[in-house]
Amino acid sequence: MVETPKGTICMAPNVYWVGVKHHNRRLFDGLIPLPHGTSYNAYLVVGSDKTALIDTVNPGFAEDLLGRIAEHMDPAKLDYVIMNHAEPDHADAGRYVLDVAKNAKLVTSAKGKDAAIMYFGIDSERIIVVDESSKLELGGKTLKFIDAPWLHWPETIFTYLEEDKILFPCDFFGSHVAYGQFYADELGEGVSLDLAKLYFAEIMMPFRKPGQTAVEKVKKLGVKMIAPSHGVIWNDPKIILDAYTDWTGEKMKKKVLIPYVSMWGSTEKMVNALAGSLINKGIEVQLFDLTNADIGHVAKELIDSPVVVVGTPTVLNGMHPVAAYAAMLVKQLRSPTKYAALLTSHGWSGGAVKAVQDLLGGTKIEILGVVDVKGPPKEAEFEKIKELADKIEEKLSAL
């Protein structure tokens, strides 16, 4: 495991980043590509009476975390370990910190307490349960808590440092990136937002409603800094709050997402014909060849694309497995997609159409059309594709 040699940073008087950057991690949850690695941001707040560690780090990095804390205080003297979220990339090292800090208490939500006992074997006597009425007074530093269920686990809370107006929302507002410095403006606003959008699509998109509630709560706080537990720290919170307002609010663009796979070029010809017609109408098209696309980037385009057109050949009486995977992601990520269409080709037997209909069953997505061709597409199919483009234009104009 590799981490940056750079040490801790001071974010405000007696408030420190003490996390770890994991440059060479390339996959998360066995699913999410991490082309830029990630970081596990943990934060140390030193009051005049008490000290608190907010979130910890991924399995395998506890020693790095303890070393970072030791730059500021004896880790054995920590008073509180705040567990905003029980997923091991932020919570696993908590048990090692509690082993070192014999008198420290773990602070979490009621559901977090159950998770801490179940996943990490924490003694229930060492857990303090907090809710929105709770306060931890550290001496000149006051920590408050915000319920944030389903962002993205049921036990999640945010921690707010009142005097410095710093919000610690764990995964929410996060991004997977290890390179660069610590703050969003150091990495560049555009790059930071792009990475945050990718992260939102992969992790938070299924939870847009609780996300909206959380964004509204945060807006009322008047925060000066948002310090998530992955990626950059937002030193201008308005940038990420505005973005999350759009993403959780399903602010759509006049855009069509076309993920496709083609074996012998027939599907690709149809996809290109549709893309050309749409572009001629002034409609933005995002085209992804699924054989070499980062699936996270496909998910990112789902945030604000009202129309998704899947292109797939028929393989063994069904969709091409790569296209089936993309269609399944659309369903599982509960994207705000309103309309879908299918472009497909087969040699001797169909089957892809039914497979897509089965996969999208149970969603509110309206199927706008299917163009299914035997062999390569001919004039008749290209005419149908033009008609599909007209229908898509009509639906987008009505949004």
Backbone angles phi, psi at 158, to 5 degrees: -110, 155
One of 64, 89, 92, 202 touching ligand FEO (CB under 6 A): 89
- Which residue carries 């801790």 as its tokens? 8
Work out the number of other CB atoms within 10 angstroms of the CB of residue 2: 12
Residue closer to ligand FEO, measured from CB, 105 or 230: 230
Min. distance of Cβ 152 from ligand FEO in angstroms? 6
Residue closer to ligand FEO, measured from CB, 68 or 90: 90
Cα separation, 104 vs 53, in Å, equals: 10
Backbone angles phi, psi at 291, to 5 degrees: -70, -20
Backbone angles phi, psi at 127, to 5 degrees: -110, 130
* Residues of span 271-330 touching ligand FEO by CB under 6 A: none
Residue closer to ligand FEO, measured from CB, 90 or 320: 90
Shortest CA distance to 57 belongs to which of 219, 271, 312, 230? 230
Token pair of 12, please? 């405000």
One of 3, 64, 92, 171 touching ligand FEO (CB under 6 A): 171
- Which residue carries 């098209």 as its tokens? 285
Min. distance of Cβ 321 from ligand FEO in angstroms? 28
Give me the 48-87 binding string for ligand FEO, x by CB under 6 A, dash otherwise. -------------------------------------x-x
Instruction: Work out whether the CA dihedral 83, 212, 21, 293 comes out positive or negative.
Output: positive
Min. distance of Cβ 378 from ligand FEO in angstroms? 50
Min. distance of Cβ 20 from ligand FEO in angstroms? 13
Residue closer to ligand FEO, measured from CB, 28 or 382: 28
Shortest CA distance to 161 belongs to which of 56, 91, 230, 84? 84
Residue closer to ligand FEO, measured from CB, 248 or 262: 248
Amino acid, single-letter form, for residue 183: Y
- Which residue carries 């792009």 as its tokens? 194
One of 36, 50, 68, 90 touching ligand FEO (CB under 6 A): 90
Min. distance of Cβ 149 from ligand FEO in angstroms? 13
Cα separation, 326 vs 332, in Å, equals: 10
Min. distance of Cβ 278 from ligand FEO in angstroms? 36
Residue closer to ligand FEO, measured from CB, 145 or 207: 207
Angle CA 254–260–266, to nearest 5:
115
Residue count, binding to ligand FEO (CB under 6 A): 7
* Residues of span 216-235 touching ligand FEO by CB under 6 A: 230
Min. distance of Cβ 32 from ligand FEO in angstroms? 10
Packing angle, helices 379-398 and 266-280, rounded to 10? 40
Min. distance of Cβ 204 from ligand FEO in angstroms? 10
Q: What do you get for the CA distance between the two ends of the chain, in Å?
A: 48
155 binds ligand FEO (CB under 6 A): no
Residue closer to ligand FEO, measured from CB, 172 or 260: 172
Min. distance of Cβ 313 from ligand FEO in angstroms? 36
Residue closer to ligand FEO, measured from CB, 89 or 381: 89
CB-CB contact of 240 with 226 (8 Å): yes
Cα separation, 27 vs 29, in Å, equals: 7
Q: What is the DSSP letter of 201?
A: I
Residue closer to ligand FEO, measured from CB, 89 or 393: 89
Interface residue list for ligand FEO (CB under 6 A) = 85, 87, 89-90, 152, 171, 230
